[in-house]
Chains A and B, each alone.
Chain A
Amino acid sequence: AQSVTQLDSHVSVSEGTPVLLRCNYSSSYSPSLFWYVQHPNKGLQLLLKYTSAATLVKGINGFEAEFKKSETSFHLTKPSAHMSDAAEYFCVVSESYNQGGKLIFGQGTELSVKP
């Protein structure tokens, strides 16, 4: 069975400093991995996805993530945080089965950005 673990429930950074949100996954075969962002009282928006192509994936708003199979990790990074990046971030693995795809969500990491 597939699962995903987000190692930090809350991360706080200063504006202009790098962001690192950590995610480890467990999968019995090649996974599809995603990062979604949820701003307060909003739906989820896809930041980026990995689907067995390039291991370094670039997403929207300057975010990127690197798939490391040896470490079973898919950490999300951004070189310089902006106040508007404050949100909840979910690492997601997709489970494909006979009846269709199913998303397995991590517990989320709340990102705070200080001025």
Chain B
Amino acid sequence: DAMVIQNPRYQVTQFGKPVTLSCSQTLNHNVMYWYQQKSSQAPKLLFHYYDKDFNNEADTPDNFQSRRPNTSFCFLDIRSPGLGDAAMYLCATSRGRAANEKLFFGSGTQLSVL
């Protein structure tokens, strides 16, 4: 049973055209994360929500925004995608923010920018 669901699996957008990626969870976890993973690289945290509290990483570009309308859903908005934003975007959840928390990852959305 899928617990963290990302849609779509593959997304193609045009240079500069806004795009939204979706994530939903059935775990009722408090924390939701968005990671960016470029080819052959480690995932990089963009931001996370603890409940409704938004936490942006210092080096996340302003081009990336996020929304969490309720516990189950979280969206990643890329306002003006550039070629360098082509990557796998991973959504993850955790019950809390303790150091030993297990993260549950979705299967990711592979974004291509033409």
- A residues touching B (Cβ–Cβ < 8 Å)? 31-32, 34, 36, 41-46, 49, 51, 90, 94-96, 99-103, 105-108
Q: Is the CB of B50 within 8 A of A44?
A: no
Q: How close is A28's CB to chain B, nearest CB, in angstroms?
A: 13
User: A94 contacts which chain B residues (CB < 8 A)?
Assistant: 99-101
Q: How close is A32's CB to chain B, nearest CB, in angstroms?
A: 4
Q: Is the CB of B98 within 8 A of A101?
A: yes
- B residues touching A (Cβ–Cβ < 8 Å)? 4, 6, 31, 40-45, 48, 50, 55, 90, 92, 94, 96-103, 105-108, 110
Q: Is the CB of B4 within 8 A of A32?
A: no
Q: Is the CB of B100 within 8 A of A51?
A: yes
- Given A100-B31, A100-B97, A101-B98, are A45 and B42 neighbors across the interface (CB < 8 Å)? no
Q: Is the CB of B108 within 8 A of A43?
A: yes
Q: Is the CB of B108 within 8 A of A101?
A: no
Complex Cα–Cα for A46 and B93 (A): 12
- Given A102-B45, A106-B42, A108-B42, are A42 and B101 neighbors across the interface (CB < 8 Å)? no
How many contacting A-B pairs (Cβ < 8 A)? 66
- Given A94-B99, A101-B97, are A107 and B41 neighbors across the interface (CB < 8 Å)? yes
Q: Is the CB of A95 within 8 A of B99?
A: yes
- The interface centre, meaning the residue of A31, A36, A46, A105 with most chain B CB atoms within 10 A of its CB, is A105
User: B101 contacts which chain A residues (CB < 8 A)?
Assistant: 94, 101
- Of B42, B96, B99, B100, which contacts A105 at CB under 8 A? B42
- Of B31, B48, B99, B106, which contacts A43 at CB under 8 A? B106
Complex Cα–Cα for A99 and B99 (A): 11
Complex Cα–Cα for A102 and B84 (A): 24
4 tightest A-B contacts by CB? A100-B97, A43-B105, A96-B99, A105-B42
Q: How close is B98's CB to chain A, nearest CB, in angstroms?
A: 6
- Of B6, B103, B107, which contacts A103 at CB under 8 A? B103
